[in-house]
Amino acid sequence: MSTSVDTGCERCQCHGKEKQPAILYTLLSQELRPGGHRQRCLCQQRRAVCLRTPHLTCQAASDVLVKTINFMKNVAAFHLLPREDQLLLLHSCWVPLFLLGLVQEMVTFEVMEAPAPSMLKKILLSGQSKGQEPEGTQPTLAAVQRLQWCLNSFWRLDLSPSEYTYLRGAILFNPGASMAESSRGGSLAFGQVVIGPPGSGKTTYCHAMREFLGRLGRSVAVVNLDPANEALPCPCALDIGELVTLEDVMGSLGLGPNGGLLYCMDYLAANADWLRERLQGLRGHYVLFDCPGQVELYTHHQALKDVFAQLAKWNFRGRRGILLYFVLGEIGKRMACQGF
């Protein structure tokens, strides 16, 4: 975490154009020599800090790391991937996984201002500090407060253990991890098929998950497979409405809502090539499939099952891809209500 005052963040008050450092500080500080480091920032928000109880905090963090490793050992889908892909995923996502572990274990910590080395010590050790951590790499009070704000935002959600597992799975399976590193070409294909009864929050969940992964720097694409879903809260990379809509089917064939929806799914299954061509443009994205909620589609009808089977053949599951089936309850609504 940097203490630089020239970034686009809030301007440091002690480095304004009109306010200069004290003359005595300027004369004594070695850091103001030509070619030297910037002077120590005097603003409270940008002062370097350290842990008040480092032994207790580090022990709690170590426990979180152990539990995170055990979680990944127990994810069967993760072990389906080649070892080199597993390493790529771990390298790309261990930081957010660790942060999520801190949230779930309710790890708290206090900081205090890091003591600045005396001027005499700086003079005596001049030229002998190579290899030591430069002052600018120490965390600042402002950076720590941002981290604590993030933890508090998660705690307000009051997530259950199952919901933490869902979030870990979404973080772990990062399709962009192998874009540059993989020597075999192509990227890993990961996604979620979000199903659940009508009104359970499937579309709301997809919107919230899209925002969550987007803030992690991930490329996310929402695919709407519900021909009756017209009120979409976020832009969709692919919408079944481009192929067929429930309103058009009901109007042209004289079918009711349920019969019209079954026809739409049959039409989608018969035009699977249309879906495949458009999914090709989403490689490198984490894909969220927002599915219709009518229970008949999953208990007495084969068309949607056939579409899922086709997704598995299109590298969304197998040696280089994972497709998660997520049966939704109330998590989507709760995440959105908390302003996640």
Which residue would you say has higher pLDDT here, 2 or 305? 305
Q: Does pLDDT of 162 surpass 90? A: no
Residue 322 has pLDDT above 70, yes or no: no
Q: pLDDT value at position 138? A: 75
Helix axes 257-270, 246-253, angle to 10 degrees: 110
220-269 pLDDT, tens per residue? 999 999 998 877 777 889 999 999 999 999 999 999 988 999 999 999 99
- Mean pLDDT, the chain, rounded, equals 75
More confident residue, 301 or 181: 301
Amino acid 285: pLDDT: 85
What's the length of the chain? 340
Residues 6+ apart with CB under 8 A from 325: 192, 193, 195
Interval 8-24: pLDDT, tens? 344 454 444 444 544 44
Q: Per mean pLDDT, which range of 182-186, 286-290, 296-300 is the poorest? A: 182-186
* Confidence at 320, pLDDT banded by 50, 70, 90: very low
CA distance 124 to 130: 14
Q: What pLDDT is recorded for position 32?
A: 43
Residue 6 in this model has a pLDDT that exceeds 50 = no
Residue 225 dihedral angles phi and psi, to the nearest 5°: -105, 10
What pLDDT does 72 receive?
84
* pTM for this predicted structure: 0.61
Instruction: Reply yes or no on whether the pLDDT at 315 is more than 50.
Output: yes
CB-count exposure of residue 195 (10 Å: 0-12, 13-18, 19+): buried
pLDDT at 169: 82
3-state secondary structure the chain: CCCCCCCCCCCCHHHCCCCCCCHHHHHHCHHHCCCCCCCCCCCHHHCEEEECCHHHHHHHHHHHHHHHHHHHHCCHHHHCCCHHHHHHHHHHHHHHHHHHHHHHCCCCCCEEECCCCCHHHHHHCCCCCCCCCCHHHCCEHHHHHHHHHHHHHHHHHCCCHHHHHHHHHHHHCCHHHHCCCCCCCCCCEEEEEEECCCCCCHHHHHHHHHHHHHHCCCCEEEEECCCCCCCCCCCCCEEHHHCCCHHHHHHHHCCCHHHHHHHHHHHHHHCHHHHHHHHHHHCCCEEEEECCCCCHHHHCCCHHHHHHHHHHHHHHCECCEEEEEEECCCHHHHHHHCCC
pLDDT value for 179: 45
Q: Which residue has the higher pLDDT, 292 or 84?
A: 292
- With a cut of 50, say whether residue 335 has pLDDT above it: no
Q: Name the pLDDT band for 137 (thresholds 50, 70, 90).
A: low
Confidence of residue 27 (pLDDT cuts 50, 70, 90): very low
**Span 185-197, average pLDDT:** 73
Taking only the tens place, the pLDDT of each residue in 89-113 is 888 888 889 999 999 999 988 888 8
The answer for 196, left when phi > 0, alpha when psi is -120 to 50, beta otherwise, is left
| Mean pLDDT, residues 304-314 | 81
The more confidently predicted of residues 170 and 102 is 102
Distance, CA of 140 to CA of 48 (rounded, Å): 4
pLDDT, tens only, 36-85: 444 445 565 578 888 889 899 999 999 999 998 888 888 877 877 778 87
Mean pLDDT of 144-165: 86
